[in-house]
Structure 1
Amino acid sequence: MIIDTDVVTLSRLQFALTALYHFLFVPLTLGLVWMLAIMESVYVMTGREVWRRMVQFWGVLFGINFAMGVATGVTMEFQFGMNWAYYAHYVGDVFGTPLAIEGLMAFFLEGTLIGLFFMGWTRLSRVKHLLVTWFLALATSLSALWILIANAWMQNPVGSAFNPETMRMEVTSFSEVFFNPVAQAKFVHTVSAGYVMGAMFVLSISAWYLLQGRNVDFAKRSMTVAASFGLAAALSVVVLGDESGYAVSENQKMKMAAIEAMWETEPAPASFTVFGIPDVAQRTTHFAVRVPWVMGLIGTRSIDTPIPGIANLVEETKGKIDNGIHAYDAMLVLREDKNNAQARAILAAHDKDLGYALLLKRFMDDPRKATPADIQKAADSTIPNVPVLFWSFRIMVACGFYFIALFAFSFWLSSKRKLDSKRWYLKMALWSLPLPWVAAELGWIVAEYGRQPWAIEGILPTALGVSSVTTGQVWTSLGGFVLFYTALAIIDAVLMVKFARKGPDGLGIWPPADIHTTTPAKV
């Protein structure tokens, strides 16, 4: 039976919407909690009341965001059973392991620690409460680590193999899954982006207070922490983004070629296209402005290694599809006769390309009957949406360099104690608030949309992972998610704006009776 493309499209749309919405909250949680840990450390070391009040106020906004992240994250788990049942069956042994560890090791730990964070101010000593905050920061990063290990396996499926006995993918080396180079690159790059978001959040809201002439001492201290933390994080994002680019060029060559709109293989080292208009129909890039060598150095860390173009990769894919057809035929034989030694040997010789034969299932019922035209169509389907990836990547990179400039200028003003001296700067800081979210969402689009048509790179096409559901059923669940998430969005926006507008003074947190009060720390 040929796959119902409407079900696939709607299932992809539903998961994309829920994932992108969930990712509005995750990076802010990752970044803001570390700033709370830094502020509380200063409080414990100095005993100055202003720092405790800063932790309490920013902690309120952190709590609202954390709750929304949990609410939107839980619904994503159900979609693997609702919309992606075959995906869960085929790769669940591998993909489900880090997700289960995340729930048992990190999620419950976060839930416990955040309760202690809010309820422990009067019940714990300063040092004990500080330890809670630091462990909460570590727990959020630990949660992100296991989620990104699972996601990285989708991009680079190491430490696993197809088992002809169970007809599923299974773990062969957990250490390879854990130490997946793509996971390492994605984790450090993602958490650094979260740090930038947390710093921008504090910087922008504090700038608004200074524009209003409110909570001046509170806002200046908050901006000082945000400026220094944000500058380090923004620089890290650029450096670690280079590592992510290298990982992509090693493991997802088609994604790299699409990001660069590189239709043909260029002589090494490849140039970087700063601007251009990709033309999918003619497979060329109009008005291209290129910087020599840059892409080759980023993508290969050398000056003599070429980056393959889209046309060359399509030709390679045709050969892999042909090899995969042999594996597919052997798999069907083994399904009927698990003791067939000849079929087992053929599968062992070609199993790495089995997923490429499955690309044909999108167009026909039996890949063994594929014609050269069918193979060409399947190979062409591996080209992702080039214009979307091309522009998403460039806007994301432009935001990254803007963050470095803004935080560097903020850091300089802070060192000169002139944070409130330039109203144009305060307005710029305020209106920059949405940009980290823009960059983060675009980064997620590059990572996930660029992997298409694969659910698991080279292993399982997205079109095969869907559940046996009807278009009407997916429309119903999609509509339910849209309504639910819209309600959550309204609630979150109202709460965040309400508490940010009230500020520490409106919440009774600021000012204390004496902002210079010091008391000995309890241990």
Structure 2
Amino acid sequence: MIPSDLVDLSRLQFALTAMYHFLFVPLTLGLSFMLVVMEATYVITGKEVYKDMTRFWGKLFGINFALGVATGITMEFQFGTNWAYYSHYVGDIFGAPLAIEGLMAFFLESTFIGLFFFGWDRLSKGKHLLATFLMALGSNLSALWILVANAWMMNPVGAEFNFETMRMEMVDFWAVVSSEWAQAKFVHTISGGYMTGAFFVMAVSAYYLLRRQDVQFAKASLRLAAVFGLVASVMTVHMGDESGYLVTRDQPTKIAAMEAIWDTHEAPAPMTLFAIPDQEARTNHAQIDFPWLFGIIGTRSLSTEIPGINQLEAQAVERIQNGQKAVVALENLRKDPKNEALRDEFRAVQQDLGFGLLLKSRTDDIANATPEMIQEAARSTIPSVAPMFWAFRLMVGCGMAMLFIFLAGIVLGVKGKLESSPWFLKLAVLGLPLPWLACEAGWFVAEYGRQPWTIYNVLPTHLSVSSLSSGEVLGSLIGFVVLYSALLVVELWLMVRFGRKGPSSLGTGRYHFERN
């Protein structure tokens, strides 16, 4: 059996590096297309303020982009170093979108980011705008292929298990790329990134207005960010609803934990607005419900039930017992691969093979696992409820708060009252952490909610790790923490330095700190 501390340390290291990396990704995605909108406005109107906006916010984009690339490369190497069996087991599927991301999106993005920064005096307005657009497109394509790979882990389609190679192998590339999960994750993630970029521009612009610094520049930036952010918010809410529907349909254990549903409720199920989940007693305290709402959102019907945790555990027991048979059949088939009767026996229970493998963390003799082991494995298929419940509500709450602030910014901008509304400007500045809290909470729900699976219902996490010692993983974890902390200090120092200076850093002679 694989040591549990090795699995826990490997998970912790990947979680820390992934969440750190995602401090930079949403801002890169959001600012990239905001730069396109700013420069397009400059090309159409000819007003220099929009050119200055593109160059200044582009400078902050560049700082953020560099850190995002550095931390992203580290993550890709971890699949080989810390998750070697996972890479072997699904490399045929998971590796394809990552390879495309590296060959197409990354080089497209990297090439045109150079033209964006150094082509202002070498390209015409239209050609430079095209370079900016292709840079933004590259950023989004990079996200697309990574999210296609991640979506496959959530809902493994277009692939089959080959008992001869003991690997998952791709049978339909288009099914992997075009799955509903891939589409929903891509649009939901990039729209969340657009909200992040818009809120960043809005908050920094509000800071300038509070200081009466570069007022016209700040007002133009804030108005554009508010409109861009509101449109992105509508996209995010819509795709969040679509994601919720897919999770309810395909990952019932995750949705049950997110909503702290202990027992199946008569359809349509209510939405829990507030509760204090008690996993030990399997109940909620101080629960406040909104009738019917969750059943309608989660199933898009009035008659479909959403299974509760207790019922899902009972189903998991049955699937684990069936998975025992699958493991035994697979072992016999490996000894006699030409035996058609054994092939049929394995195919009949193959869909539950992953559930049988859950027992590997409890015994090496899966065929003789005790009822207690089976019950314990079934219990592990449910994520911890309280972290899921509150993380989901943190994400939604931050999203709704940003939506309100974007809407308020548009209303005040139309009325010409941005400068005379210090309450709004302070709210925008204080709300700067909101998009990052929402993004990190959303990824926590997505990834932690998939446990105990690396690939949902197919490959348990404890079987995915490399044959390393706990000390080796701990040493690299400490190294990452030290290095990434130093990089974060550099990132924040540069962003704060150029952010405070504002468009004066462009050296045009037109702005606050350049005037006598």
Residue identity matched to 1:202: V
What's the counterpart of residue 41 of structure 2? 42
Distance 1:506 1:120 in 2: 18
Q: Percent identity?
A: 58
The answer to whether the 8 Å contact 1:324/1:356 transfers is yes
**C-alpha separation between the residues in 2 aligned to 1:233 and 1:274?**
25
Partner in structure 2 of residue 78 of structure 1: 77
SS at match of 1:290: strand
Instruction: Give the alignment of 1:90-489 within 5 angstroms.
Output: 90-489=89-488
The 8 Å contact of residues 117 and 132 in structure 1, kept in 2 or not, is answered as yes
Which of the pair has the greater relative contact order for Cα pairs under 8 Å at 6+ separation?
Answer: 1
CA distance in 1, matches of 2:130, 2:328: 58
Distance 2:510 2:10 in 1: 51
Task: Choose 336-345 or 411-420, whichever is displaced more.
Answer: 336-345
Shift, 1:236, TM fit: 1.8
SS in structure 1 at match of 2:382: coil
Deviation string, structure 1 residues 116-150 (Cα, Å, up to 9, x no partner):
11011011110000001111111111111111110
Contact 1:57/1:509 (CA < 8 Å) preserved in 2? Answer: no
Letter in 1 for 2:356: A
Where does structure 1 lack aligned partners over 5 or more consecutive residues? Answer: 514-523
Mapped to 2, the partners of 1:356 and 1:491 lie a distance apart of 45
Cα–Cα, structure 1 residues 421 and 338, in superposed 2: closer, same or farther, change >3 Å? same
Amino acid at match of 2:71: T
**Deviations 1:277-296 (CA, angstroms, capped at 9, x unpaired):** 00010010111000001110
- Alpha-carbon contact 2:32-2:136 (below 8 Å) kept: yes
**What is the distance in 1 between the residues matched to 2:98 and 2:250?**
23
Measure how far apart 1:509 and its partner are: 4.2
TM-score, length-normalised on structure 1? Answer: 0.97
Residues 304 and 125 from structure 1, CA distance in 2 versus in 1: closer, same or farther, beyond 3 angstroms? same
Written as runs of structure 1 = structure 2, the 5 A alignment for 1:49-60 is 49-60=48-59
State whether residues 3 and 363 of structure 1, in contact with CA within 8 Å, keep that contact through their aligned partners in structure 2: no
Corresponding residue for residue 10 of structure 2: 11
**Separation in structure 2 between the aligned mates of residue 63 and residue 53 of structure 1, nearest angstrom:** 15
1:162 match: secondary structure: strand
AA at the equivalent of 1:128: K
Query: 2:503·2:511 contact (CA, 8 Å) conserved in 1?
Result: no
**Is the partner of 1:452 in helix, strand or coil?**
coil
Range that drifts further, 415-424 or 292-301? 415-424
CA deviation after TM superposition for structure 1 residue 480, in Å: 1.1
**Between Structure 1 and Structure 2, how many residues are aligned?**
512
Q: After superposition, what is the alpha-carbon deviation per residue over 1:431-450, rounded to whole angstroms, capped at 9, x for unaligned?
A: 11111000000000000000
Deviations 1:441-482 (A, max 9, x none): 000000000000000000000010001111111111111111
Residue 3 of structure 1, CA deviation = 1.8
Q: How many angstroms does 1:35 deviate by?
A: 0.7
- Displacement of 1:336 after TM fit? 2.4
Query: Which letter does structure 2 place at the counterpart of 1:373?
Result: E
Measured in 1, the distance between the counterparts of 2:341 and 2:454 equals: 30
- CA-CA distance at 1:502 after TM superposition: 1.2
Give, in whole Å, the separation in 2 of the partners of 1:188 and 1:511. 39
Q: Which one-letter code corresponds to 2:308 in the other structure? A: G
CA contact (8 A) 2:55 2:506 kept: no
Give the residue type in structure 2 aligned to 1:492.
E
Q: How far apart, CA to CA, are the structure 2 residues paired with 1:238 and 1:399?
A: 12
Residue identity in the other structure for 2:220: R
AA partner of residue 234 (structure 1): S
> Counterpart of 1:393 in structure 2: which amino acid?
F
SS at match of 2:454: strand
Q: Could you tell me how far apart the structure 1 residues matched to 2:25 and 2:275 are?
A: 33
Structure 1 match to 2:86 = 87
Contact 1:504 1:510 in 2 (8 A): no
CA distance in 1, matches of 2:111, 2:332: 52
C-alpha change, 1:101 and 1:506, in structure 2 (3 Å) is closer
SS of corresponding position for 2:420: coil
**Residue 64 (structure 1) aligns with:** 63
Give the whole-Å Cα distance in 1 for the aligned partners of 2:509 and 2:178: 46
Gaps of 5+ in 2: none
| AA partner of residue 19 (structure 2) | L
Q: 2: CA distance between counterparts of 1:230 and 1:316?
A: 43
Deviation of 1:42 after TM superposition, in Å, equals 0.6
Shift of 1:506: 4.0
Query: Distance between the aligned counterparts of 1:490 and 1:509, measured in 2?
Result: 29
SS at match of 1:289: strand
Counterpart Cα distance in 2 of 1:261 and 1:375: 23
Q: Secondary structure at the match of 2:337?
A: coil
Aligned-residue offset at 1:258? 0.4
Residue 512 of structure 1 deviates from its aligned partner by 7.2
SS at match of 1:71: helix
The CA deviation string for residues 203-244 of structure 1, in whole angstroms up to 9 with x for no partner, is: 000011111111111000000100101111112211211111
**Partners of 1:333 and 1:340 within 8 A in 2:** no
Paired letter, 1:291: F
Supply the AA of the counterpart residue of 1:299: G
C-alpha deviation, 1:340, in angstroms: 2.3
Cα distance in 2 for partners of 1:25, 1:161 equals 35
For residue 335 of structure 1, report the CA deviation from its aligned partner: 2.3
| Alpha-carbon separation, structure 1, partners of 2:78 and 2:435 | 27
What is the DSSP-based 3-state SS (H/G/I as helix, E as strand, rest coil) of the residue aligned with 2:287? strand
The aligned residue for residue 494 of structure 2 is: 495
The letter of the residue matching 1:469 is L
